[in-house]
Amino acid sequence: MRFIDLFAGLGGFHKALHELGHECVFVSELDPVLRENYKRNWGNNINIHGDIKKIVKENIDLIPDHDILCAGFPCQPFSKAGKQLGRKDERGTLFDEIVKILEAKTPKYFILENVRFIAKHNNEETWKAMKAEFQRLGYDVDHNDYSPHDFGIPQHRQRIFIVGALGKNALSHFSFEEIDKRKKPVIDLANFIEENPSGYKKLPKANQACIKLWQELIDALPKETGLPGFPIWGMEFGADYPFEEDYPSLLSQRQLSGYKGNFGISLKGMTREEQFANLPSYARVEDKFPDWKRQYIKKNRAFYADNKKFIKDVVNRIAELPSQSWQKLEWNVGTEGKRKINKYILQFRASGIRVKKADFFPSLVCTNTQIPIIGWENRYITRKEGLKLQSLNGLSLPENDTAAFKALGNAVNAKIVKLIAANLLVEERKVNGVSSRHIKSNSISKAYESAA
């Protein structure tokens, strides 16, 4: 069958469908670096274009007839990590380009991928509008959420996968339950980490020193004191600014002068601008603090009050770290594991230094500053390891590491797509007259075993 690959990135859809024997007849990718990279992976003769909005508006016939439309359309408008503007965001309207192509070319199938929050965005109104558009065009639609870790790949990355087939009850042959049967919860992390990798990036000394400081704090706590399950916000250690009925934005300079900000620094004698600069960034807001934020502040202040005599000295040094994100620690390991940060998978995030159990990698995201770190080796994951986490083994990446990890963060996982496509497209496969039902029961297993 013939397929098109929209918002193609590294070509996760291409890899999955190519391995199932289908032919790519059109590609769209806005980023020129990724377009050249796509050619390196799939051949210079590939029919690849740039801005899909321009193509749809000016010459939709550039898009050839096809059987399957694939698209991992931009997720930022719907992501909980973003502003959640949805279709108010220009990138959110790219969904409309998909609709226009479906209407003009009427492919028999489509497979879409996005952040799972899209189904909940705007009290589900966004998803209802999308589904109504598909149904208007005559498509039977279904969706489900999957993460690579569901299928034996050590990466937490929940995504929604939307499938459609043209015609009434056209998905009667398809079931996500069949894909659920291929879940593989047991994960061998060693299969995804290189031994003595070449060209790896060492964790900078400043980051290592930061981790060492937080380890000193953990070591200073009594062994019977459990590490908090809530995010540790060091800035709250010694702070007493109001955060419930009153909060900083409601107070005058004179009123704030009676309080302490980050790490207990007195706000007395400062200008209002200086006062706010010496408050946590999350406290410099115009609106009332949400309940979750008030709870974290309250718990952090109580934790410090209970343990001040043990940790005061190291807290003073944590206060000198150059970034507030480094002054926060997220211990996502629980109470049973070893209390050694470098025994785990780490990530430097805006929300703090995240410490995860060494059985899953955190979700790859489209920023070079949050590349997962293998703590016991004091290094970032390699490009090759990143490809494994997205089931893109064997593909080339852009030469620049920033571009490479951004592309990996935006990529669709090829293994999950292959499982879905093998089930969705099974009725199109006729082998020596064997019934499609028999092919269905075997094709998924074969795809699962051979998927990279």
What is the average pLDDT across 51-71?
93
Is 445's pLDDT higher than 90? no
Residues of the chain with CATH 3.40.50.150: 2-187+414-450
Q: What is the pLDDT of residue 312?
A: 96
* Cβ–Cβ < 8 Å for 87, 93: yes
Distance CA 28, CA 7 (A): 6
**Of 24, 70, 75, 210, which one is the catalytic site residue?**
75
The CATH code of domain 2-187+414-450 reads: 3.40.50.150
pLDDT at 440: 36
Lowest mean pLDDT among 167-176, 205-214, 288-297, 354-363: 354-363
pLDDT over 60 (residue 431)? no
Q: What integer is the mean pLDDT of 25-33?
A: 94
Q: HSE-up of 94 (CA within 13 Å, CB side)?
A: 23
Mean pLDDT over all residues of the chain?
Answer: 86
d(CA 195, CA 120): 41
Residue 347 CA to residue 353 CA, distance in Å, equals: 6
For range 4-25, the mean pLDDT? 94
Judged against a pLDDT cut of 80, whether residue 448 lies above it is answered with no
Q: Give the rounded distance of the alpha carbon of 399 from its chain centre.
A: 22
- How much is the average pLDDT of 122-144? 88
Residue 75 is a catalytic residue: yes
Q: Which of 76-85, 144-153, 216-225, 285-294 has the lowest mean pLDDT?
A: 76-85
For residues 433-447, give the mean pLDDT. 36
Instruction: Look at residue 204 and tell me whether its pLDDT is greater than 90.
Output: yes
Q: Tell me the mean pLDDT in the region 130-142.
A: 92
Q: Helix, strand or coil for residue 303? A: helix
- Per 3-state DSSP, the chain is made up of helix, strand and coil in percentages (nearest 5) of 45, 15, 40
Q: Convert 297-306 to b/e letters by CB count within 10 Å (16 or more is b).
A: bebbbebbee
How does residue 316 score in pLDDT terms, banded at 50, 70 and 90? Answer: very high
